[in-house]
Amino acid sequence: MAEARKSMIKIKPKKYKTGDIVKVDFIVIHPMDTGLIKDKKTGKIKPAHYIDNITFSFDGKPFTTMKVWETVSTNPYFSVNFKVPGKGKITVDYTDNTGEKNTKSKKLKPKD
């Protein structure tokens, strides 16, 4: 099995309370190849390799799902707003067109 890609979840602002709306940013290292570009070394077309589905969940319940296309930039950045219901865990799951699956999680700790 392939090693998990580097990714990160950031919550902004850093200090928030239950009921506040926060920005959840997700960044992942991924080539996002469209299948339309030639490899400079070999001259052959690079096969398509891009993230196609992302799901943001809170304590296992999805709150945002995205269908992503190959034209998104390399190492993409995704951002959603989320109303903090209390303590819990935000998880981002994504798959790409080759079947690769990865997950990243971050605990929410409101300052009530």
Q: Range of 98's domain?
A: 7-108
Euclidean distance between CA atoms 68 and 50, whole angstroms: 8
98: CATH: 2.60.40.10
On whether residue 18 sits in a domain, the answer given is yes
On whether residue 74 sits in a domain, the answer given is yes
pLDDT digits (tens, 9 = 90+) for 70-108: 889 999 999 999 999 999 999 999 999 999 999 999 999
The residues facing 92 across adjacent strands are: 56, 104
On whether residue 47 sits in a domain, the answer given is yes
pTM of the model: 0.91
Residue 1 in this model has a pLDDT that exceeds 60: no
Euclidean distance between CA atoms 85 and 23, whole angstroms: 14
pLDDT digits (tens, 9 = 90+) for 6-31: 999 999 999 999 999 999 999 999 99
Sole residue written with tokens 């707003």:
81
On whether residue 1 sits in a domain, the answer given is no
DSSP string covering 42-106, please? T-SBPPPB-EEEEEEEETTEEEEEEE--TTSPSS-EEEEEEE--SSEEEEEEEEETTS-EEEEEE
pLDDT digits (tens, 9 = 90+) for 30-73: 999 999 999 999 999 999 999 999 999 999 999 999 999 988 99
